[in-house]
Amino acid sequence: MAVRRPSRGQKGPGAASFVVVTGLSGAGKSHAIRALEDLGYFCVDNLPIALVQTFADLSLHTPGGARRAAVVIDVREGRQLTGFPGMYRGLKKRFGAALRLIFLEAGESALVRRFSETRRPHPVAGASSVVEGVDEERRILRPIRKLSDHVIDTTALTVHELRRRIFEITGAAGDVAPLGVTLLSFGFSRGVPADADLVFDVRFLPNPHFVAALRRWSGKNPKVSEYVLRSPDARQFLRLTGDLLKFLLPRYIEEGKAYLTIGIGCTGGRHRSVAIAHALAARLKGVKGIQLRVRHRDASQGG
């Protein structure tokens, strides 16, 4: 049994909700539960059926409970799975609209391909083939599928499309944490940051290091910043790069990306990259769905 706590940085839970995720092995249940986790659900994978009602009560009815919780139940439950329909009907009477059952399935060829790619044994197949295992699992889960509120066929869905479907079903897409965007200035002389997703090189801009009156200050100083930004190349770089990021950021959000680090480098990481990072941040403030911060790795270093 695996417990998944809500991801760091997400918004707190809203209306009470208890989601049961089930379906065929290889249909994407692990991706679905991760999507719910990102929405603030307290998630448990492979919880014994006998404990589901207790878990639901603790989550929804206990002061300080999770308020949003999800559980994965599937054929790993073994013989106890036959008790699921009766248990679920009891939960439905108790929790009503707060309870949802999501059933994931896929076509035979897609499931066989996925098991072939992962090289994992099918939980029902035993010594039989994957195809026989899939057929038997469909038969076992048929009574549960009939109870489901939502059936998702993942045959042609990407991971990101499945994630969006989960968000749509739960009606909680607005509760997803904003994309954390970090504008990170650095010096190439000290190496490119290992966590940078995108890197922009601004060493082509005029360097305040060679101006005696500016050398001692960082790019946060208004005079240094003015010196860097008055360059026509700097203004064009900000315009073009700002437009590029305004195009990219909504698409990263749609993809489900949680963090994005944009490295902006000059030689020492003290002047040009610092000034450009702050100027670029000002251009991105109006982008919806992001949480923006500026960080300087090498601005305090000499040279």
Query: Token match 């650095």: residue?
Result: 186
- The string of pLDDT tens digits covering residues 167-198 is 888 876 555 668 899 999 999 999 999 989 99
Q: Quote the mean pLDDT of the chain.
A: 89
For the chain, domain boundaries: 2-175, 179-296
Provide the pLDDT for residue 210. Answer: 95
The percent of residues in the chain predicted with pLDDT above 70, rounded, is 91
Residue 187 token pair = 């010096």
- The string of pLDDT tens digits covering residues 88-125 is 999 999 889 889 999 999 999 999 898 888 777 888 88
Q: Which stretches of the chain are DSSP H helices? A: 29-38, 49-60, 84-95, 108-118, 130-147, 159-170, 222-229, 232-255, 272-284
* CB burial string 253-266: b at 16+ within 10 A, e below: beebebebbbbbbb
Domain 2-175 indexed as CATH 3.40.50.300: yes
pTM of the predicted protein model: 0.67
Confidence band of 3 (pLDDT split at 50, 70, 90): low
Average pLDDT score over residue span 139-161? 93
Provide the pLDDT for residue 44. Answer: 93
- The string of pLDDT tens digits covering residues 15-47 is 788 999 999 999 999 999 999 998 889 999 989
